[in-house]
């Protein structure tokens, strides 16, 4: 049962990762809902906080380690804080894949404890793995 819950969290984290920071990939960079909404005052911060809360909730329910939770909190904190600063902060938020980095940290934690989920769409997984996230690929 614990493994099933963890694998459900893995899949949900993947959806949030793609929606938030990787709907459109351009080389090593990606943009998603978080990057687009970063330019809309209040909406960007609201989305960032909401998506971050969902990721963090999934991590807690999946039994992620404290180290993973701290790492995720740092990524999500930087992402959310940057979206609250007009113009320069919005540009940083557009390029900083905080949700993607937090999702990858959770996925690695789950894979380390329970293995990779089965029944993944192999084609979609290969495509998502082939595109690095952010300035440095998080793997």
121 found inside a domain: no
Average pLDDT on 102-116 reads 96
19 found inside a domain: yes
Would you say residue 114 has pLDDT above 90?
yes
Tokens of 81: 């804080």
Average pLDDT on 9-29 reads 91
Could you give the number of structural domains in the chain?
1
Percent of the chain whose predicted confidence (pLDDT) is above 90? 53
Tokens of 21: 């920071």
Specify the higher pLDDT residue, 58 or 128.
58
Measured distance CA(24)–CA(46) in Å, rounded: 21
56 found inside a domain: yes
Percent of the chain whose predicted confidence (pLDDT) is above 70? 85
Would you say residue 138 has pLDDT above 70?
no
123 found inside a domain: no
Tokens of 94: 């557009």
14 found inside a domain: yes
pLDDT band at 118 (very low <50, low <70, confident <90, very high): confident
Residue 38 is predicted with a pLDDT of 86
Give pTM, 2 decimals. Answer: 0.81
132 found inside a domain: no
Residue 123 is predicted with a pLDDT of 43
Q: Which of 67, 139, 133, 62 is nearest to 108 (CA)?
A: 139
pLDDT band at 134 (very low <50, low <70, confident <90, very high): very low
Range(s) of the domain holding residue 11? 2-116
Residue 120 is predicted with a pLDDT of 60
Average pLDDT on 67-80 reads 95
107 found inside a domain: yes
Residue 124 is predicted with a pLDDT of 53
Radius of gyration of the chain (CA): 14
122 found inside a domain: no
């Amino acid at each position: 049962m614990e493994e099933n819950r963890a694998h459900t969290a893995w899949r949900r984290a993947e959806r949030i990762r793609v929606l938030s920071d990787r709907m459109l990939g351009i080389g090593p960079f990606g943009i998603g809902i978080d990057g687009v909404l970063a330019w809309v005052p209040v909406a960007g911060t609201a989305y960032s906080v909401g998506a971050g809360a969902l990721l963090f909730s999934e991590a807690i329910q999946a039994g992620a380690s404290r180290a993973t939770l701290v790492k995720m909190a740092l990524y999500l904190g930087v992402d959310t804080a940057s979206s609250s600063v007009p113009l320069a902060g919005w540009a940083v938020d557009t390029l900083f894949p905080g949700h993607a980095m937090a999702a990858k940290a959770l996925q690695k934690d789950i894979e380390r404890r329970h293995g990779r989920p089965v029944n993944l769409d192999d084609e979609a997984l290969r495509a998502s793995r082939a595109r690095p996230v952010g300035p440095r690929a998080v793997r």
